[in-house]
Structure 1
Amino acid sequence: MTTLSPSRWRRILPDANGWRALPLLAVVLIVFDYSLGGLLTQSVKGSDGLTLQHFEEAWTTNAYLHVFVDTLRVSLLSTALCVLLGYPLAYWMRGLDKRFRAMVLALVLMTFWVSILVRTYAWIVVLGNAGLVNRLLLGTGLIHEPLTLLYSEFGVTIGMANVLLPFLVLPLLTAMLRIDDRLLHAAASLGASRFAIFWRVFFPLSLPALGSCVLLLFMLSLGAYFIPAVLGGGKVPLVGNLLDTLINETSEWALAAAISTMLLGFSLGVFWVYLRLNRMTETKL
C-alpha cells in the first residue's frame, strides 16, 4: 500500500488562502448544487419510481424539438452578430488614445446603467410597423409597405445582440490590450503587411479570448426569457419561454425539469467541445 508524500498532500490539500474559500464553496454547493440536484431528481421522478418518460416525451414531441431548434438558431445568430460587431469595435478601441478609449469605453458601459427592460422595449419603437426603421424605408421609397421586423426571429436576434454585445466587447478589449505591441512591430520590421500582421499575429493571439466570449454569449442566449417574450410577442417561443409555460401555466414540473436537464447537458457538451478545440489550438501554437 503506497502512502502519499508530504509534497503530494500539499498539492491535494488547499493552502492557507484556499482554506478561506471553503465557506464560499459550501455556500455554492448548498445554493446551486442542491437546487441542481433537485432538478435532476425531479426529471427522473415518476409515480412508480424512477422513470425516463419525461425525457422521452421531451425528445419525441415535435413542438418541443422545434422550440429547441429555434433557440439554437437564434442563439447562434445573436452570438455571430455580436462577434461581427464587437470584434471590430474592440480592435478599433485598442488603437485609440487612452483618453478617447476611456470615452468610448464609458459609452459601452452606459448600457449597463440602463435597465434591460427599458432597452428591450425601446426596440419596439425602432422595429415596429410605425417605427423608425420602417418609416425611414418608406420615406426613401425602398419599400411600399412596412416590414415585419418586430415579433419575429429578426427582432429577437437584434434585441439579444444589443443586450449581449457589451459582454463581448469589454473582456475582449481587455485581452487585446494585453497583447504585446513589440510582437506586431517585429512582424512589421520583417516586411509583413498590415493585413498579414493582423491575420497571422494579432488574431491568433486574441482567439482564445474571443472563444471564451463566444461561449459566454452563447450560454447566456440559450436561457434568454425576457427578450423573446417582449420582442417575440409570443410568436418566437424559446426554451426559457417554454419552461415558463410548463411551470406557471400547465404545472408540468417534471417535464420542465427534463427539458432543463437536456439543455444543461447540451451546454456541458458545448463547453467540452470548446475545451477540446482550445487545447488543440494551444498545441498547434
Structure 2
Amino acid sequence: MSQSAAILSSKAEAVDLRAKLRKAERSYKLKSLALIAPLFLFVLVCFAFPIGTMLTRSVDNPDVHSAMPATTQALESWDGTSLPSEGTFDALVKDLASAKESGQIGALTKRLSYEIPAYRTVITKTLRKLPDSTATSKREALIAVDSAWGDVNYWKALKQASSKLTPYFLLAALDHRVDSATGSIVKAEPNQSIYLDIFTRTFYIGGVVTILCLLLGFPVAYWLATLPEGKSNLLMICVLLPFWTSLIVRTAAWIVLLQSDGLINRSLMFLGIVDAPVQLVFNRTGVIIAMTHVLLPFMILPLYSVMKSIPSNYVRAAISLGAHPFVAFWRVYVPQTFAGLAAGGLLTFILAIGYYVTPALVGGAADQMVSYFVAFYTNKTVNWGMASALGSLLLIATLLLYVVYGKLTNQTQAR
C-alpha cells in the first residue's frame, strides 16, 4: 500500500513539475515577445506600412471613379464602338455639376489629362457652358459645347481612367501605356519616354560607384585585417570618421574641393597636369567622386569582417607548396572573401541607387537619379501614383538583388 502511494505521489510530482515547466516556458516566451514588441511595432508602422501604402498607391485610381460615379456606372455597359447612350451624357452633366460643387474638378481633370492632354481644356470649357436640366438632348448640347464629346476616343479614355485600379502609372514608369482606342499596351510617345533612361542612368551610376568602392575598399580592408590590432583599430577610426558628420556637410565639402578654384583644380594646375580648371562639379564626375567617398565605408566594413576571420595559414601553406604569392592570394585568399564582396557590393549598390541628396547637390540636370523624380512627383506635382510607381520598381529591383545575393551566398557556402 505504501509502495503504490509512493508511486502515485511521484507521478503527481512529475505532473506538477511538467506544469511548472510549461508555465515557466510560457512566461519566458511572453517576456521575450514583450521585449521585441516595441521593435516589431516600430518596423510595422515606420517601414512595412509605408511600403505597403506606396505599393497600393501605384495602382490606386480613385479620382475619376469618386468624382463621376454615375458616369462610371453607365460606361460599364458601353461597348465602345459608338457614342454612349443619352443616359450616359445625362449622367456626365450631373457628375460634372456635382464634382464642381464638391471641389473634385482639379483632381478629375488632372487624371484625365494623363490619358489625353486636351481633356483638361475640354472639361474646363464644358463647365463654363454646362447644359441645364431643361436641355432636351444632353448629347447634342455637350457636343455643341465641345466637339470632343462626339469623339469615341475621349469616351474610351474616360472609361479607361474610371476603374478603381489602373496599370497606368506602372506602365508609364516603364515608358509604356494602354492605348485607349485598342486597349493594347504600346510604347509611350517619344517626348514621354524618359523613365527607362532614368533607370539606366541610376543603375549605371550605382554600378560605377560600387566598382570604385570595391577597387578602393578591398586593399584598405585587407590592410586593416592584416595589421596588428592596435594600429588596425586606429585606422578603423579613420574609416568610420565620415559617419561623424552629416551627409549634407560631406557633400558640401566636395563642392568646395571640386569647384573651378577649389583645392583639387589648384593642385592639378600647380603640378602642371592641366593648364586650365577642369569641370569636376555639377556633372557626372562630381556625383561619382562624392558618392564613392560617402559609400566607401559600407564596402570596407563587410570586407573587413570577413577578412578578419580568414586564417593566414592557408596562403602561407600554398606558397610553401610552390605557388607564386599572387597566385596563392588570388586562388586561396580571394575566394574566401566572396561573402564579404557580395555583402559589401549589395549594400553599396542598393544605397547608391537610392541616393538623392548627393546627386541633387553635386550633379547636373542630366545626373539626377530615380529618387530625385520620386521626390519631384511627391513634393512638386503631387502625383502620388507616379512617385509610388517609380518607388515600387526601385523596390522590386532591390528585392531581386537580395534574391541574387542569397543564391550567390548559398553557392559559396556549398563550396
1:45 aligns with 60
From 190, 193, 201, give the equivalent of 2:324: 193
1:149 aligns with 280
Cα 1:238/1:280, change in 2 over 3 Å: same
From 362, 367, 391, give the equivalent of 1:260: 391
1:158 aligns with 289
From 25, 42, 48, give the equivalent of 1:27: 42
1:216 aligns with 347
1:59 aligns with 174
Q: Distance in 2 between matches of 1:146 and 1:193?
A: 45
Q: Does 1:108 align with 2:239?
A: yes
**What amino acid maps onto 1:209 in structure 2?**
G
1:118 aligns with 249
Give the deviation of 1:181 after TM superposition.
2.4
* Residues 92-142 of structure 1: per-residue CA shift (max 9 Å, x gap): 122212221122111112121122222111111211111122222223333
Give the deviation of 1:148 after TM superposition.
1.6
Q: Does 1:180 align with 2:195?
A: no
Cα 1:35/1:138, change in 2 over 3 Å: same
Equivalenced residue count is 271
2:83 aligns with none
2:306–2:339 contact (8 Å) kept in structure 1: no
Give the deviation of 1:235 after TM superposition.
4.2
* Residues 259-281 of structure 1: per-residue CA shift (max 9 Å, x gap): 11111111111221222233333
Greater displacement, 200-209 / 18-27: 18-27
Cα 1:227/1:182, change in 2 over 3 Å: same
Give the deviation of 1:227 after TM superposition.
0.4
Q: Distance in 2 between matches of 1:23 and 1:118?
A: 33
**What amino acid maps onto 2:207 in structure 1?**
L
1:83–1:214 contact (8 Å) kept in structure 2: yes
Q: Distance in 2 between matches of 1:91 and 1:243?
A: 38
Instruction: Give secondary structure in 1 for the equivalent of 2:174.
Output: helix
2:377–2:386 contact (8 Å) kept in structure 1: yes
Q: Distance in 2 between matches of 1:143 and 1:166?
A: 31
2:202 aligns with 71
1:151–1:235 contact (8 Å) kept in structure 2: no
Give the deviation of 1:233 after TM superposition.
4.3
2:408 aligns with 277
Give the deviation of 1:74 after TM superposition.
0.7
Greater displacement, 152-161 / 180-189: 180-189
Q: Distance in 2 between matches of 1:281 and 1:165?
A: 24
Give the deviation of 1:44 after TM superposition.
0.3
Q: Distance in 2 between matches of 1:281 and 1:143?
A: 46
2:301–2:344 contact (8 Å) kept in structure 1: no
Instruction: Give secondary structure in 2 for the equivalent of 1:75.
Output: helix
Greater displacement, 143-152 / 120-129: 143-152
Greater displacement, 192-201 / 243-252: 192-201
1:227 aligns with 358
Q: Distance in 1 between matches of 2:266 and 2:272?
A: 10
**What amino acid maps onto 2:345 in structure 1?**
V
Give the deviation of 1:159 after TM superposition.
0.6
Q: Distance in 1 between matches of 2:241 and 2:397?
A: 33
1:246–1:252 contact (8 Å) kept in structure 2: yes
2:338–2:412 contact (8 Å) kept in structure 1: no
2:104 aligns with none
Q: How high is the TM-score relative to the length of structure 1?
A: 0.88
Q: Distance in 2 between matches of 1:30 and 1:102?
A: 38
1:153–1:236 contact (8 Å) kept in structure 2: yes
Cα 1:115/1:26, change in 2 over 3 Å: closer
1:80 aligns with 211
1:54–1:258 contact (8 Å) kept in structure 2: yes
Q: Distance in 2 between matches of 1:75 and 1:167?
A: 13
* Residues 241-262 of structure 1: per-residue CA shift (max 9 Å, x gap): 1111111111111110011111
Q: How high is the TM-score relative to the length of structure 2?
A: 0.62
Q: Distance in 1 between matches of 2:47 and 2:244?
A: 28
* Residues 202-249 of structure 1: per-residue CA shift (max 9 Å, x gap): 111111111111000100011101101110144421111111111111
Q: What is the RMSD computed on CA atoms of the aligned residues? A: 2.0
Give the deviation of 1:40 after TM superposition.
1.0
**What amino acid maps onto 1:36 in structure 2?**
I
